Amino acid sequence: MIIERLREYVAAETPTGDAAALNAFADRLADRYGELGGTVRREPSPTGDHLVADFPGRGPRAADAPLLFLAHHDTVWPIGQLENAMPWREADGIIHGPGVFDMKGGLVILETALERVADRDHRPVRVVVVADEEIGSPSARALVTAASAGVYAAFGLEPPHPNGDLKTSRWGSTRVRIEVTGREAHAALDPASGISAIDELVDQLIAVRQLIAGYDNVLCNVGTITGGGRTNVVPGSAAADIGFRFVDPETERAVLDAVAGLTAVRSGAELEVRVMSNRPAWQPSGATDALLAEVAAAGRSVGQDVGGAAASGAADTNLTGWLGVPTLDGLGPVGKGAHAVHEQVIAATLAERVDLVAAIIRSL
């Protein structure tokens, strides 16, 4: 049943920004959470609705602070990826397909665990499913912040470490766009009256590289570059999106302030630097260590050894961890290939993770 549900979810392709596809999938999740006893509300967003589902507690802990589970239903893959390049495939205990690992496997694990504990005593459970996580959750930050107020702990359904360990901290992640406005001119007849936005952008990206070289433990990836149109026209506009990763908030602030302070090299060129999304660094804490100990005990109750380690990737748990909520991530299935054409999960770990998540809900 778990694998069948996962195949159904993977078949519904949900690229970030495709509101129609994401909302159709949100309909499916909302119906499912309603069947499981949750009260579901939608948070509209132009690029796809987010979901919040609250499940009541049972027994002596019915009035206790809830557990928060964070998930997302967008993927990095475009419509058609399943048919053209990454068909669903099961072989030798491995399942392949777009989104199986990041993170429709996690969604299936959570709903199956909720079904498992439906008649057991447990705390209330709150689920937030975000529609734009893959680009930093720019429209969901306020929602995640509000949903985390007063919870006992937060858990992410993102993929775990390769050995199955949970994630106990994450680097900060910020997307920055540098936009340059120059002046168009004929590239042969009147080049001197033009201002090349592309040349200006190249110089700015070199300046960013030089800036980053002065810091340890900062990652910088120029993910997209756009600009110009014809080789016989001096380009009047250009832009680049840059992804930064930071280990600590002090370095993050220093780098972002320096990038925001960039100025144009060429007279007449205009420069705009904008933060597109931001996830602050979630640093190790005693609260997370204590939560990991509780989860390890829950794991032992179902015959599993649970460990934890820091992670360099970012997710919505960055925000809850940064806010001081005891947080762990990585409750999705074990696999590999996130954002790669060989994306896959180990089929047996789906049921194992269901056992663990159900034990967490029952015991914490």
Supply the residues annotated as catalytic. 74, 133
Reading the block at residue 187, the tokens are 């590239």
Whether 292 and 161 have beta carbons less than 8 Å apart is answered as no
- If you write DSSP's letter for every residue of 211-244 in order, what string do you get? HHTTSSSEEEEEEEEEE---TTEE--EEEEEEEE
User: Beta 327-328 vs 67-72: how paired, if at all?
Assistant: unpaired
Three-point CA angle 76, 78, 79, nearest 5°: 140
Task: Compute the distance between CA of residue 108 and CA of residue 1 in angstroms, rounded to an integer.
Answer: 10
What one-letter code names the amino acid at 215? Answer: Y
